[in-house]
C-alpha cells in the first residue's frame, strides 16, 4: 500500500479486489519506470537525492522490468496496482532509499504521465497500421480500375462506378481516422508530472527538465486540471469508436459481397471459418467480428463520458475506469485494422459479375436527366420525364441498352441520337465532369496521389 500510515487496519479483502487495477494497469510498467527514472534524475539535479542514491535507485529501476517478466501476472493478487509493485519491488532490492522516489510526486500525476507516454507510443503504432491498410486498399484499387460495379443508396442500385473509385472512398475514411489520432497526439504533449495530487509541490521541481527527458514539448499549466481531466482519453475513445464504425462499414460490404446472392468477392480461407453442422459453409466470421466489436468501442466511449459528466473538481477514484476502457478500445481497433488488411489483401473479385446487369439496368437514368438539362430542360422536369421513361421500359421489359431513338421520341421530340450515348454504359465514366467523380482520369490521378502519399513503390 502507498497510503497506509494513518490507518490502523488494512482494507477489506473484497474491497481491495474491487479497487485493484493491477490486472490492466500492468501495461504501464515500462512507462512508469521511465517516469520514475526521469523524476529521480531531476531530484538529484535539485539536491533532493544524492549521487550515490541516484545510482542505486536507477540500477534498481532498470532491473524491475526483467523481474516482472520473470514473475508474470502471478503477482496480481499481491498488489493494488502497478505503482505499488514498482515501489515494493524497488524497496526489496535497495532498501529505504527507494522511498525517496515519491518526493514531490503523487500517484495522480505519475499515472497520467505514464498513460500519456503509453498513448504516444501506441497511437503512433496504430497510425502506421492504418496507413498500411490504406496501402493494401490502394493496391486493390489500382489493380481494378476497369472493373464496373453498381453503387448503392438505401441498398438499392444507384449509379455505376468503378471498383477502384469505390475503394478509394474507404481510404479517405481511414485518412480522417489518422487525422483524429493526430489530434489525440497533440493533446498529450504537455507533461503533467510535478502537478502532485492537485496543487503542485513546495519542492523546487524542474518540471521542464523532466518533461524534456520524457519527450514532451512543454509542461501542463494547471495542477488541478492536469490530474483531473481525461479529455485526451475521451478523444482516443472517440477516435477508436469512429474508426471501428468505418471498419464495420467496410466489413459489412465484404460480408454482403461474399454471399451467393452478390457473388462478387471470395474471402481467403485464412479469414473464414466453417460450420459445426453444415460441411459446405465458409463463413466470413472475422469480418463479422470486426463489425460486432464496433459496439464495444462505442460502448467504451459512452462509459467514460458518463463517468466524467458528473466528476467534481480534483482527482476522484472514478477516474481509474479510464484505463480499462482505453486499453480495450485500443486493442479492439488495432487488431481490427490489422485483420482487415489481411482480409482485403486476400480478396479475389468476380470482375465480370455486374457488367451484363449494368448493361440491362436503369442506373444511367441520372445521366439521361443531365443530358436533358444540357438541352435547357429544368432538372425537375427532366427528372419527371426520365422517371416516366423508366416506368414505361419496366412495363415493356425493355432496358436502356435496347432503347431506340424512336422510343425516346414518344416521350419528347427533343431527344436525338446523342441521348442514346448518355444511356450507354460505354463511356459513361468518361462523361463525368466534376472533380471527385468516378471519371477514370480522375481516379487514376487519385491513385497516383495516394501512391506518392503512402510511398507505395517502396512499401
Q: Which residues are catalytic?
A: 154, 275
Comparing C-alpha atoms, which of 367, 80, 50, 36 is closest to residue 210? 36
Nearest to 214 by CA among 323, 291, 110, 125: 110
How many angstroms separate the CA atoms of 83 and 112, rounded? 12
| Strand duo 148-153 + 190-191: pairing | unpaired
CA distance 184 to 189: 9
- Residues 6 or more apart whose Cβ sits within 8 Å of residue 186: none
Contact 318, 311 (CB under 8 A): yes
The answer to whether 104 touches 203, Cβ cutoff 8 Å, is yes
Please provide residue 277's backbone torsions phi and psi, each rounded to the nearest 5 degrees.
-115, -40
Gyration radius (Cα) of the chain, Å:
30
Q: Could you tell me which of 159, 162, 95, 131 has the C-alpha nearest to residue 442?
A: 162
Q: Which long-range contacts (CB under 8 A, 24 or more apart) does 200-208 make?
A: 201/104, 201/105, 203/46, 203/48, 203/103, 203/104, 204/46, 205/42, 205/46, 205/104, 206/42, 206/45, 206/46
Nearest to 93 by CA among 71, 62, 114, 69: 62
Task: Report whether 39 contacts 81 (CB < 8 A).
Answer: no
Q: Which three cell numbers stand for residue 129?
A: 497500421
* Burial tier of 456 (Cβ tally within 10 Å: 0-12, 13-18, 19+): middle
Helix (H) or strand (E) holding 266: strand 265-266
Amino acid at each position: 500500500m502507498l497510503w497506509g500510515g494513518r490507518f490502523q487496519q488494512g482494507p477489506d479483502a473484497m474491497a481491495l479486489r474491487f479497487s485493484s487495477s493491477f490486472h490492466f494497469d500492468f501495461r504501464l510498467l515500462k512507462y512508469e519506470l521511465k517516469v520514475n527514472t526521469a523524476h529521480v534524475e531531476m531530484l538529484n539535479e535539485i539536491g533532493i537525492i544524492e549521487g550515490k542514491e541516484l545510482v542505486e535507485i536507477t540500477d534498481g529501476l532498470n532491473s524491475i522490468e526483467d523481474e516482472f517478466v520473470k514473475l508474470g501476472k502471478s503477482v496480481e493478487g499481491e498488489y493494488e496496482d502497478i505503482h505499488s509493485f514498482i515501489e515494493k519491488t524497488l524497496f526489496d532490492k535497495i532498501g529505504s532509499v527507494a522511498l525517496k522516489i515519491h518526493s514531490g510526486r503523487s500517484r495522480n500525476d505519475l499515472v497520467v504521465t505514464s498513460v500519456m507516454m503509453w498513448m504516444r507510443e501506441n497511437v503512433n503504432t496504430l497510425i502506421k497500421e492504418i496507413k498500411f491498410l490504406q496501402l493494401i486498399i490502394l493496391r486493390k484499387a489500382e489493380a481494378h480500375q476497369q472493373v464496373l460495379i453498381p453503387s448503392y443508396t438505401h441498398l438499392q442500385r444507384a449509379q455505376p462506378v468503378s471498383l477502384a473509385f469505390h475503394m478509394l472512398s474507404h481510404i479517405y475514411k481511414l485518412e480522417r481516422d489518422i487525422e483524429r489520432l493526430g489530434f489525440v497526439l497533440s493533446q498529450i504533449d504537455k507533461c503533467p508530472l510535478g502537478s502532485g495530487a492537485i496543487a503542485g509541490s513546495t519542492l523546487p521541481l524542474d518540471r521542464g527538465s523532466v518533461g524534456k527527458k520524457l519527450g514532451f514539448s512543454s509542461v501542463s499549466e494547471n495542477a488541478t486540471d492536469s490530474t483531473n481531466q481525461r479529455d485526451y482519453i475521451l478523444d482516443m475513445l472517440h477516435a477508436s469508436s469512429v474508426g471501428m464504425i468505418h471498419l464495420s462499414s467496410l466489413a459489412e460490404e465484404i460480408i454482403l459481397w461474399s454471399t451467393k446472392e452478390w457473388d462478387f468477392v471470395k474471402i481467403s480461407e485464412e479469414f473464414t471459418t466453417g460450420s459445426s453442422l453444415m460441411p459446405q459453409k465458409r463463413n466470413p466470421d472475422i469480418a463479422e467480428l470486426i463489425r460486432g466489436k464496433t459496439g464495444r468501442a462505442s460502448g467504451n466511449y459512452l462509459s467514460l463520458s458518463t463517468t466524467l459528466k458528473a466528476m467534481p473538481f480534483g482527482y476522484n477514484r472514478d477516474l481509474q475506469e479510464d484505463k480499462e476502457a482505453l486499453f480495450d478500445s485500443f486493442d479492439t481497433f488495432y487488431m481490427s485494422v490489422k485483420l482487415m488488411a489481411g482480409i482485403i489483401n486476400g480478396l479475389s473479385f468476380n470482375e465480370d459479375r455486374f457488367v451484363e446487369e449494368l448493361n440491362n439496368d436503369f442506373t444511367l437514368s441520372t445521366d439521361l436527366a443531365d443530358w436533358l438539362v444540357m438541352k435547357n430542360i429544368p432538372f425537375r422536369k427532366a427528372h419527371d420525364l426520365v422517371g416516366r421513361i423508366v416506368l414505361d421500359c419496366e412495363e415493356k421489359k425493355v432496358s436502356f441498352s435496347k432503347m431506340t431513338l424512336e422510343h425516346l421520341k414518344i416521350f419528347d421530340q427533343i431527344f436525338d441520337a446523342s441521348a442514346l450515348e448518355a444511356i450507354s454504359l460505354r463511356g459513361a465514366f468518361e462523361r463525368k465532369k466534376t472533380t471527385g467523380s468516378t471519371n477514370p482520369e480522375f481516379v487514376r490521378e487519385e491513385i497516383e496521389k495516394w501512391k506518392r502519399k503512402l510511398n507505395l513503390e517502396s512499401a
